Structure 1
Amino acid sequence: MNGSITTPPDQSALTPQSNVPSSNISAADKRGARARMRATRACDRCKGKKARCSGNQPCTLCDRLGLECAYKASYRRGRTPYILPSTYLPPTPDVNTAAVANAQPMLSLAPSFPDLAEPVVEAGKAAEEAALEVAEKESSISELVDVPSSYIGPASGVSFLTRAKKRLQEDATSSHTTDASTFASGDTPLPECDSSFLVLPPKHEAMLLIGTYFNVSFPTHRYLHRPTVEIWCDELYRNQMQYSFKSGDREKKAIVLMVLAQATLTSRYEDENNAARSVMFYAASEQQLTKESGETRLTSVMSRLLQCHYLASQSRINHAWSLFGTTARLAFAVGLHRKQRPRIGRVNHVEVQCRRRTFWAVYSLDRYLSAALGRPKAIHDDDIDQDLPDCLDDENILLDKLITRPPHSQSVMQASICHIKLTRILSGILKEQYPIHPLPTPSHHLITIKYTASLHSWHSDSFPFVSKSWQDIILLAAPFSRQCEVLINAYSHAVILLHRPLLLCDIKTEDDRHAVQDSANACVEAALRILGLFGDSCESGRMYGAFWK
């Protein structure tokens, strides 16, 4: 008011760093700026001319000359980078850095000019967040534009495949960072639980779960004797507070607990706690087997075989394979692979039949693990001479005698024996069609013809099970409906396993071409049969997670 002029604050403090004279910028900063402008991949024309390329499409040079800009040359410096179109210009790190750097000097003005410093700092933060948001959007777009002639958007198939790829990479990374055991590396981890807090279900519920196990969970691998398991379950409930165990008691408890664990996963009473309860039963059975003592018994093999099947149904196939090695050795130790010599005097028919059933269940799992993992088999056909189990239901097998079933009556063991015979064919396919040394196409074709005849013969013998339509299957009583599903599925996978090697063979003659085409048709037909069975099971509510993991 008196004519004096109020001096404003020093404007140099408010000057952006972009206006700072170039003489104040170090040589290292200049080199860093030049390095950031370097493209990770040049277009085909710039690469051939050894010219500097902007790295987008079309690049600056091709755009100026009006030429086609393409990135078709092979890239050998690691993962192929994504090429941004010229219309998308993601913000460079310099813009972000300048926005943050411009806000930093304002902090020094806070004591003198609080009203000025606060909005400038907030503006710098807002600029930084906006730049990061734009960069993320541009990054997501850049992941999709690498495939030509594709719509870029959330509904695009390219977008779905990109998300699936990232998800698989994340799963693979997380599986390698876990502290899983070497024997279970790559497996899905089981939920953590403390088996000391296990609470058994009411006895009537346990008996229902035992029925679910035999009718739904394992309709064809019937190596347990149901009346015996029910007796062991009754003993488990009567002797819950028992602290002294006789030889073999712990394996029996482990078997009952594993039956409950597997049946809980396939119970028709859906409960969100079923998975946790199932793992609790498994952990309790494992605790019992850690305290097992004495000689190797049949129950030692049964209990561990149950654990192998459970682990495989829980996507822990490597853990199952590791445990199966011990199980197979125990089966050899008790002589399950050999016929029993005729005994003079009293014969325990339950034990004789269970020995046969258990061995062939071990044999079948060995073949399926070998096929799934591509690893050598633990049991060789030249080392065994065990008989197949008799086609008798559990109630017809008593300790001192066998009750012959009426003629033309259907036994639940028929499907089990059919499954064993199919596994024998599968063993030959694995041995001849997948040898150590590669085979020529004609050899693969001859093996395919040989085992196609074996599969057709098996199909004819098992016609009552594998010929039924889905409408017929759902009308069957348990466990026959589940047995049909299992055998159709197993037969279809055996067909694919037999014909699959021909799909990758070299085609040199017209005969080779016909052989490959026939195998391709057989694989497609089998795959469609599996998908149809799977879809119908899901629609009718008969599909459980333990069936497909």
Structure 2
Amino acid sequence: MSSKDGSHATSSQSVQPAVPSPALSEQPNQTGYASKDKYLFQPPITVDLPQMSREEHRIEWKRISCDFCRRRKVKCDKRDPCGQCSISFRDCVYSERSKRAVKRPKNSSSQLDAMEKRLKVVESNQFYPSPAIDVTTITPSSTLPPPIKAPLHINKNGTPKKTDSEEIGKYTTAHHFIEHGEIEFHGTSADRTFMEGLIEKLGDSSMTHQRIPVDGSVPGLFQSDARCLDEVPLPGRDHAVKLVEAAFDAQVLLHIVHRPSFDFSFNMIYSLEPREYSLKERRFLPLLYAVLAYGSLFVDPFVERLEYDEVIKQASRYFIKSKQLQDLATCNDLVSMQAIVFKNLFLIYTTRTPFCYTYLCTSMSVALRMGLHRSLNNTQDLISREISKRVFWALKLLSSEVATCVGLPTLVNDEDLDQELPLELNDAYIYKGKATTQPPNEVCYSSGLICYSRLHNILHKVLKDIYPRKGRASTEVCGSMNYTVRIEKIQEVEQELEKWATMIPLGYRLGTYYQGPAIQR
């Protein structure tokens, strides 16, 4: 063997070939390249590689394998050309690979812990019904009759023509809708539907310029300065339960909450961290602070070992916190409306009556905007429907009573509403999809609201017939306005009062059954 061959054999021992080496007797040599050997020859690489910098090594490491190595499923040395392509005398080809879908980052351990904690809290409170506002189950009532299909009228061009009933139905469906727990009422003018029809015909181009920037903010109605926002922590769980019970006992005639739903949200608030609150818990916080403020007015200061001024000061802090967490002008859900009612109850006990009249009229306008004065049962579940009835009638009774005290007109007339009275059932028998029968010997708290509303109907008749504001011929005597009223009108009112007294529910008649302190008050 020549010196050239010897040098080649010596150098071949220092470098391992890319393919598995056969036995020593079967090693091919350079002179036998054209022989019938079944093994491929890997030319040895004897050149020492220069030391690459860290940045060059990072760039080289990121290179992918060439198409030839990937197709043969062999390891590519990622050189240009690589060893496998050098054997076949070909260039390395790197085809453009398709972009893979970016994987979403997995939840961190803190997020997983928060989700597990929330799930445990929900499971521990599973004996309570779901909260009053839950958009996942808001479906049309299954008790409604199936819609009647109207006959289609065909135009000359072959397209079906909409009937008058379909046109009317289009406007009525736009009056009231619920989306993500929010309620909105568009009135009977159907202006929104008219504008949507114009947009469909003219296209989606903007017809008017925006007068207010998207990111601009407008001061809220009755909204306090945000710079005065102080941290008002929630009281301890036991003390909060005592304040909640005091608040509900003080307004037993205005039963506006669904107690199982309230207790469910209450347990969620005290079981989760503030950073773990969802939209439902954040909506519930203003209601909870308003209930705590109202309940603080009825706790015994001697039992709490506090001065009366300290109790009122703490109640005012809860009230201010509830007001800061909620904007009255943007209220569009039932939980927020419940918070508004409790804030009005707090003001009735602590503020002058003319100011309460202004607040109640503003709150009633929000309820009208949400459509709570209409009986639209096909868009709400049973719990939300009952809460809507209770909230509206509570606001109507309060505004009517305060308006009578200050001698001002009421905001809503009976001719403008068709909302039904609440069901005479306790909360434990009202579910989202059905209502069960209540035992006859159990006191129903909703009966107090219904009986109270009947008494207000008699009050309205007294104001209309006995103390009219206009339409009566009067004479001025000694600086006062005097007018005559027929005795038959007074006797008619007396008869209605006697009839009302006989219709008082048995649980609300003093001396007939044992009543709790709340009903006795």
Which of 1 and 2 has greater Rg?
2
TM-score by length of 2: 0.50
Between the two structures, name the one with larger relative contact order (CA 8 Å, sep ≥ 6).
2
